[in-house]
């Protein structure tokens, strides 16, 4: 019981002060028929050394980019994480704090979130951002709900080139809200089909939701989409699942997006088998009061010293209860801090350089793979760091062969799309060396010889 400080003598004195004779008496309000009459079957407590041995044994059964050459992306990305990040977030004044309800002793968290909000605005070209979303998918669902609130309309167009798990999350959130969710098909380039979009847009449309880059890695034509959706009075929701791309790409704000959401895991947050990650969420000035989540604002104290507080709480669940803008009550503080440190380290030049490396490596891999007999790149759209490959012999066979060579070659698209049994999604980041990419190409070719 190394985390519990009470000695037998402490307990005796405390019980005396309380005025009861045993610890059990403290639970007298719990009817005896409800009391558990046995010990919890959870085994003996493990010593610290035993626990670490057990966790290492379990960890050894997982494949990672340390044990394999990894080309897995699809919403979670293997980017380099500078040592500074873990050192700084391990300062326990950051990680053992709660939501900053008492600003005088939470200025560290509050200022860091304010800096995070600013960085996200600069990157997305928007006016305000929060640090409250659990991940890109739930942020996407919250964006849909916000578009409905802001427009009073109930029809949502969703690009079918969005991440399938984001689409599924939107469907879950909207299950009982009587909304019209309509998927817009893709064109041959792998982007949202512009002609189909124009047919589906009408004055009942609250929003179009599309990716940038989308799930297939393709860079959508946001300007055209913004013009089309604005013409009917709807909002453009842009979903960025790989935000490193924004180091090179024009910002969604510049191209006309009204709400920008995305996944911040790429910014120094470990892959950690799917979480915790960081959903970012940014809006334009006019929508600040209808956005969900906690916001930090700048203000000053009685002496005029600059400081930061949680603000605009009138939108929140603990005040408006059933009329709240969402039921979110946390911010994703520590993950937002990781992203803030990451972006501060990269800065203006670094974000562009990292994006450039991702693009260059992916283009190199694309060129080599496209030249292999039996393989093709079925989508013609411009991509950033991931792309779809088609294999004549079938994706499952190919990926299994790669695995035997110690390569995690990509995500089979059959997992999400019936009929795509020949296609898989390959992601190349700055972490993949030329040597690794060449090994992937030669392993792909291996089956042919």
Partner 1 sequence: MKSLGTQGLILNEKLLFEHSDAGRKGYSLPRLDVPPARLPAALVREEVSGFPELSEVDVVRHFTRLSTWNYGVDSGFYPLGSCTMKYNPKVNEVAARTPGMAAAHPSTPDHLSQGALALMHDLQEALAEISGFPAVTLQPAAGAHGELAGMLMIRAWHEAQGNSRKKVLIPDTAHGTNPATAALCGYEVVPIASDGVLSAAAVAAAMGGEVAALMITNPNTLGLFEAQIREICQIIHDGGGLVYCDGANLNALMGIARPGDMGIDVMHFNLHKTFSTPHGGGGPGSGPVGVTAVLAPFLPVPVVVEEQGTYRLEVDRPLSIGRMKAFGGHFGIMVRAWAYIRSMGGEGLKRASEMAVLNANYIRARLEGTYHLPYTARSLHEVVFSDRDLGGNCHTLDLAKRLIDYGYHPPTIYFPLVVKGAIMIEPTETESKEVIDEFCDAMLSIAAEAGENPDLLHQAPKKTRVGRMDETGAARKPRLKWEK
Q: What residues from 374 to 393 belong to the interface with partner 1 (CB under 8 A)?
A: 382, 384
108, 109, 125, 214 from 99: Cα distances, Å: 12, 8, 27, 33
Q: Any contact of residue 228 with partner 1 (CB under 8 A)?
A: no
Contacts of 70 (CB under 8 A, 6+ apart): 64, 78, 407, 408, 432
Tokens 């500078």 locate to: 82
Residue among 21, 45, 195, 418 that touches partner 1 (CB under 8 A)? 45
* Minimum gap (Å) between residue 51 Cβ and partner 1: 6
Q: Any contact of residue 1 with partner 1 (CB under 8 A)?
A: yes
Site for partner 1, residues 324 to 363, rule: CB under 8 A: 324, 326-335, 337, 340-341, 343-354, 356-357, 359-363
- Closer residue to partner 1, CB minimum distance, 296 or 369: 296
DSSP type of residue 145: H
Site for partner 1, residues 156 to 175, rule: CB under 8 A: 163, 165-166, 168-169, 171-173, 175
Report CA torsion sign: 428, 430, 436, 441: positive
Contacts of 5 (CB under 8 A, 6+ apart): none
Site for partner 1, residues 395 to 424, rule: CB under 8 A: 403, 408, 411
- Closer residue to partner 1, CB minimum distance, 273 or 373: 273
Q: Is the peptide bond before 277 cis (omega within 30 degrees of 0)?
A: no
Q: Any contact of residue 190 with partner 1 (CB under 8 A)?
A: no
Contacts of 84 (CB under 8 A, 6+ apart): 341, 345
Q: Candidates 183-191, 194-202, 386-394, 430-438 — which segment interacts with partner 1 by CB under 8 A? A: 430-438
Site for partner 1, residues 49 to 88, rule: CB under 8 A: 51-52, 54-66, 68, 70, 72, 74-76, 78, 82, 84, 86-88
* Minimum gap (Å) between residue 199 Cβ and partner 1: 26
Q: Candidates 111-119, 189-197, 198-206, 230-238 — which segment interacts with partner 1 by CB under 8 A? A: 111-119
- Helix or strand or coil: residue 184? strand
Q: Any contact of residue 373 with partner 1 (CB under 8 A)?
A: no
Q: Any contact of residue 152 with partner 1 (CB under 8 A)?
A: no
- Closer residue to partner 1, CB minimum distance, 198 or 300: 300
- C-alpha 274: how far from its chain's center? 9
Give the Cα separation of 280 and 132 in Å (integer). Answer: 8
- Closer residue to partner 1, CB minimum distance, 345 or 370: 345
Residue among 5, 152, 373, 419 that touches partner 1 (CB under 8 A)? 5
Residue among 8, 21, 29, 404 that touches partner 1 (CB under 8 A)? 29
Give the Cα separation of 200 and 61 in Å (integer). Answer: 48
Q: Candidates 45-53, 190-198, 199-207, 370-378 — which segment interacts with partner 1 by CB under 8 A? A: 45-53
Q: Convert residues 284-313 into a mask of x (bound to partner 1 by CB under 8 A) and - (unbound).
A: ----x-----xxxxxxxxxx-xxxxx-xxx
Q: Any contact of residue 449 with partner 1 (CB under 8 A)?
A: no
Contact, 136 vs 277, CB < 8 A? yes
Q: Where are the alpha helices (DSSP H) in 152-210?
A: 164-174, 194-200
Q: Any contact of residue 180 with partner 1 (CB under 8 A)?
A: no
Q: Any contact of residue 94 with partner 1 (CB under 8 A)?
A: yes
- Closer residue to partner 1, CB minimum distance, 17 or 449: 17
The distance between the two most distant Cα atoms of the chain, rounded to a whole number of Å, is 84
Q: Any contact of residue 98 with partner 1 (CB under 8 A)?
A: yes
* Minimum gap (Å) between residue 342 Cβ and partner 1: 9
DSSP type of residue 417: S
Closest CA to 211 of 284, 285, 143: 143
Q: Any contact of residue 178 with partner 1 (CB under 8 A)?
A: yes
Residue 57 CB neighbours (<10 A)? 9
Q: Any contact of residue 258 with partner 1 (CB under 8 A)?
A: no
Closest CA to 124 of 225, 262, 14: 262
Taking each helix axis from N to C end, the angle separating 136-151 and 164-174, rounded to the nearest 10 degrees, works out to: 50
Residues in binding contact with partner 1, number by CB under 8 A = 203
Query: For residue 365, what are its two tokens?
Result: 């891999």
* Minimum gap (Å) between residue 374 Cβ and partner 1: 23
Burial class (CB in 10 A: 0-12, 13-18, 19+), 386: buried
Q: Any contact of residue 8 with partner 1 (CB under 8 A)?
A: no
Phi, psi (5° rounding) for residue 416? -115, -25
* Minimum gap (Å) between residue 288 Cβ and partner 1: 7
* Minimum gap (Å) between residue 98 Cβ and partner 1: 5
Taking each helix axis from N to C end, the angle separating 434-446 and 333-370, rounded to the nearest 10 degrees, works out to: 50
């Amino acid at each position: 019981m190394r985390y519990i400080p009470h000695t037998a003598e402490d307990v005796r004195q405390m019980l005396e002060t309380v005025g009861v004779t045993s610890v059990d008496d403290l639970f007298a309000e719990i009817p005896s028929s409800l009391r558990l009459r046995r010990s919890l079957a959870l085994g003996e407590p493990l010593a610290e050394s035993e626990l670490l041995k057990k966790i290492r044994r379990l960890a050894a059964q997982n494949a990672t980019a340390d044990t394999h050459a990894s080309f897995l992306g699809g919403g979670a990305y293997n980017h380099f994480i500078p040592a500074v990040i873990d050192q700084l977030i391990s300062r326990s004044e950051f990680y053992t704090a709660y939501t900053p309800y008492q600003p005088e002793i939470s200025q560290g968290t509050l200022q860091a979130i304010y800096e995070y909000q600013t960085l996200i605005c600069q990157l997305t070209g928007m006016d305000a951002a929060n640090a409250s979303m659990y991940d890109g998918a739930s942020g996407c669902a919250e964006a849909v709900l916000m578009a409905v609130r802001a427009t009073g309309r109930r029809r949502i167009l969703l690009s079918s080139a969005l991440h399938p798990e984001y689409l599924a999350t939107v469907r879950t959130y909207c299950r009982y809200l009587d909304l019209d969710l309509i998927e817009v098909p893709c064109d041959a380039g792998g982007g949202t089909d512009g002609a189909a979009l124009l047919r589906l847009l009408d004055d009942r449309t609250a929003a179009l939701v599309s990716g940038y880059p989308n799930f297939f890695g393709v860079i959508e034509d946001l300007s055209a989409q913004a013009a089309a959706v604005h013409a009917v009075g709807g909002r453009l929701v842009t979903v960025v699942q790989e935000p490193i791309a924004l180091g090179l790409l024009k910002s969604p704000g510049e191209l006309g997006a009204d709400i920008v959401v995305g996944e911040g895991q790429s910014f120094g947050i470990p892959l950690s088998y799917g979480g915790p990650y960081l959903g970012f969420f940014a809006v334009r000035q006019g929508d600040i009061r209808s956005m969900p989540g906690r916001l930090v604002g700048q203000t000053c104290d009685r002496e005029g010293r600059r400081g930061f507080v949680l603000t605009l709480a009138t939108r929140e669940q603990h005040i408006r209860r059933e009329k709240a803008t969402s039921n979110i009550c946390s911010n994703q503080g520590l993950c937002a801090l990781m992203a803030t440190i990451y972006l501060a380290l990269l800065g203006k030049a670094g974000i562009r350089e990292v994006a450039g490396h991702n693009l260059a490596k992916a283009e190199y891999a694309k060129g080599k793979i496209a030249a292999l007999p039996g393989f093709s790149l079925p989508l013609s759209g411009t991509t950033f760091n991931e792309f779809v490959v088609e294999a004549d012999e079938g994706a499952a066979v190919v990926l299994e062969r790669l695995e035997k060579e110690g390569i995690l070659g990509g995500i089979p698209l059959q997992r999400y799309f019936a009929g795509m049994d020949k296609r898989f999604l390959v992601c190349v980041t700055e972490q993949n060396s030329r040597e690794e990419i060449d090994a992937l190409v030669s392993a792909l070719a291996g089956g042919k010889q």
